[in-house]
Structure 1
Amino acid sequence: MASEMEELVEFLSSPSHPVKKAAVDIVRGLTGSEDGLQSLGTHAKILLPSLIRLLSENKGVSEPAAEALVNLSQNSNMAEKMVSLGVVKTTIDILYKPDSAIAKLLVMLLVNLTQTDAGIASLLQIKEEKVQGLYLMKLVRSFCRSTNDTRDDPFEHVSSILMNLSKSEEGRKIILDPKRALLKQIIRQFDCNSPIRKKGVSGTIRNCCFEAESQLQNLLLISEFLWPVLLLPVAGNKVVSNILILITTFIIFSLICCEGNYLNL
């Protein structure tokens, strides 16, 4: 006989909309507690594909499904299982539908997924040479176009995705690619009112500085955009963030040092 949890998970695939809606609401509630997450985790094989499918339903069903996936993806093992099920492609496809009503939740899901190596590789499309970086380019475009001065900015957390991606060598390579000009676009978003955007952009710049020696020429190409950002205070006119001081140090060191030859000051 099926357990109550097994029955609940099976109801997610019910042809009856009210039943499906009730089931996904309960699942969302369970993901709000540690005990609930553990119980659901034992049924991940059936649970995750069902929740991912529900992302394409109307908002009444897709929203709680997305919230459940966001909560579940905080566990790296669950996040990796989602990635193996193709959730990154599904998320991007739904995110860019004209009638997408859960954009912010989908972006938050990508934030959690890109905290895993598998999630980073999937979002960067590492195995798809012809379209490598396409998802990232779309996200950056949306990030730069969205209104960042409103409370409900659906793409502000793209800054966190960028920071996660820039922790990987592949991510830094794509972000610093001069033909894509992604870093130039990203830097311009530092001058906004959103602390989430500021933190993500500064973190992305910091991570990209680890490629300073090999990417020095590319960094110099955007120096006119980079230096103003590095000199901007993060909180008011008097308080300068320690992280920006660190970033500036990295850049200055790279600019005055090339192939081990130091300038004499």
Structure 2
Amino acid sequence: MASELEELLGFLSSSSPQLRKGAVEIVSGLTGSEEGLRALVAYADVAIPALLNLLQDSVSGKEVQVAAAEALVNLSQDEAVCEKLAFHGAVAVSEGIIFKPERRCDNALSRLLVMLLANLTQIDSGVLALLQVGDEKLEGLFISKLVRSFCSSSVEESSDEDPFDHVGSILVNISKAEAGRKILLHPKRRLLKQIVQQMDSTNPLRKKGVSGTIRNCCFEADKQVENLLLMSEFLWPALLLPVAGKKIYGQEDTSKMPLELANPLEIEREVTDDPEIRIQALEAIYLIVLQDTGRKAFWGVNGPRILEVGYQDEEDPRVMEAYERVGSLLVTGGDEAGDQ
């Protein structure tokens, strides 16, 4: 089996277009099974450079590129393979194809490459490569391009057709790192402000990616709370609407809120079904109200009342615990703000 596999991998670099095409289709198929995946992982040092070359081989056509991308996405589920992919420059290769200057990358191929980047950014070397850390001229450039594409691509498409919805997972991954949060929160880049506005997407993958990214960025609230509050027009709805419950709020409550909160709470609305999103929103709120400035701003939008109503509708014990954690902080640390 080993010699046959070696021979097959050798065909990936054949001078014959037909052999290359046939070989990459077989390799892609092998990565779809656990047995095939294990066998190929053992030959990752041979497979990865050949698959990356095919990925860049636009002459061989879209089918070859897509098959190579599918194989790499499946292989990158293995952490050791991810390390090898990062070493061989898979991040830069993906960027070069997705944002090729002379023509827009095919949606199907773009989606696969974004999925590949989502896997690669689960390891530190992948995150650093994506952030382009250490290159003063380029640092953050690729992330800026991804955010722009994430925010401008059609959210009306189904998740299977949306080429950039997995950018949400990438943003969660990079925002776990301090260097990533620094780039996303840079006041001149305004990347987080763009990302936050995607919270109203109907695509659950986008929505979860945005909520996780906001939550991670709020770990910088002790240093950047004022910067976070500069986008309060978008931030508070993103955090509070998912945890506001099902109730239609009356004028007594909404009169104490800004319009961006009051308007959606005065009418029937879709409830956020995913408990993880509600937990992430509450954790972000907690990190903000830990700061005096953040706590006062939260009282200023009638945030405690929203949490009170939302808690009454909540049934998930983990989410209820997150509500209670914020509530206890408001009781012990928010007396002065609450009296205003």
| TM-score, with length taken from structure 2 | 0.73
| Counterpart among 235, 247, 270 of residue 236 in structure 1 | 270
97, 114, 118: which one aligns with 2:121: 114
Pairwise CA distance, 1:155? 0.6
Q: 1:86 aligns with which of 78, 89, 93?
A: 89
Per the alignment, residue 100 of structure 1 pairs with: 105
Deviation, 1:263, is 5.1
The percent identity for this pair of structures is: 52
Report the Cα offset of residue 100 of structure 1: 1.8
Contact 2:184 2:191 in 1 (8 A): yes
Deviates more, 1:234-243 or 1:185-194: 234-243
1:129 maps to what in 2?
136
The answer as to whether partners of 2:168 and 2:210 remain within 8 angstroms in 1 is: yes
The one-letter code matched in structure 1 to 2:105 is S
Aligned-residue CA RMSD (Å):
1.9
- Measure the CA separation in 1 of the matches of 2:271 and 2:46: 53
Q: Amino acid of the residue matched to residue 248 of structure 1?
A: I
Query: What is the Cα deviation at residue 87 of structure 1?
Result: 0.8
* Counterparts of 1:223 and 1:139, CA distance in 2: 23
Q: Specify whether residues 87 and 238 from structure 1 end up closer, same or farther in structure 2 by C-alpha distance, changes over 3 A only.
A: closer
Distance (whole Å) between structure 2 residues aligned to residue 43 and residue 198 of structure 1: 37
Q: Deviations over 1:121-157 (max 9, x none)?
A: 0000002121100000000000011001111110111
Q: Which amino acid aligns with 1:198?
A: K
Between Structure 1 and Structure 2, the one with more helix by share is 2
CA contact (8 A) 2:31 2:71 kept: yes
In structure 2, the residue matched to 1:173 is 182
Instruction: Work out which of the residue numbers 274, 290, 295 in structure 2 matches 1:256.
Output: 295
2:99 maps to a residue whose letter is Y
Amino acid paired to 1:91: S
Equivalent residue, structure 1, for 2:39:
39
Select the residue among 66, 73, 91 that pairs with 2:69: 66
| The 10-residue stretch of structure 1 (229-238 or 40-49) with the greater mean CA deviation from structure 2 | 229-238
- 1:245 corresponds to: 282
Deviation at 1:24, TM superposition (A): 0.5
Q: Which runs of 5+ in 1 are unaligned?
A: none
Q: Deviations over 1:45-78 (max 9, x none)?
A: 1110000011123211000100000000011110
Residue 220 of structure 1 and its aligned partner are, at CA, apart by: 1.9
How much has 1:238 moved relative to structure 2? Answer: 7.5
User: What is the letter of the counterpart of residue 122 of structure 1?
Assistant: A
> What is the CA–CA distance in structure 1 between the aligned matches of 2:334 and 2:146, rounded to whole Å?
40
The structure 1 segments of at least 4 consecutive aligned residues displaced by more than 3 Å after TM superposition are 237-240, 262-265
Query: How many matched pairs?
Result: 261
Distance (whole Å) between structure 1 residues aligned to residue 53 and residue 198 of structure 2: 34
- Whole-angstrom CA distance in 2 between matches of 1:237 and 1:75: 36
Alpha carbons of 1:32 and 1:244: their partners in 2 closer, same or farther (altered >3 Å)?
A: same
Q: Specify the alignment match of 1:164 in structure 2.
A: 173
The structure whose Rg is larger is 2
CA–CA separation in structure 2 for the residues paired with 1:36 and 1:238:
39
Q: Which residue of 1 aligns with 2:216?
A: 207
- Structure 1 residues 99-108 or 140-149, which shifts more? 99-108
Q: Which range moves more in the overlay, 31-40 or 150-159?
A: 31-40
The separation in 1 between residues aligned to 2:272 and 2:139, in whole angstroms, is 42
Q: Secondary structure at the match of 1:193?
A: coil
Question: TM-score, normalising length from structure 1?
Answer: 0.93
Q: Which deviations, in whole Å up to 9, do the C-alpha atoms of 1:22-49 show, x marking residues without a partner?
A: 1001111111122212211221111100
CA contact (8 A) 2:225 2:288 kept: no
Instruction: Write the deviation string for residues 91-144 of structure 1: whole angstroms up to 9, x where unpaired.
Output: 000011214221100100000000000000000000212110000000000001
User: Runs of 5+ in structure 2 lacking a partner?
Assistant: 244-268, 297-332
Letter of the 2:15 partner, please give it.
P
Q: Label 1:192 to 1:263 Cα distance change in 2 as closer, same or farther (>3 A).
A: closer
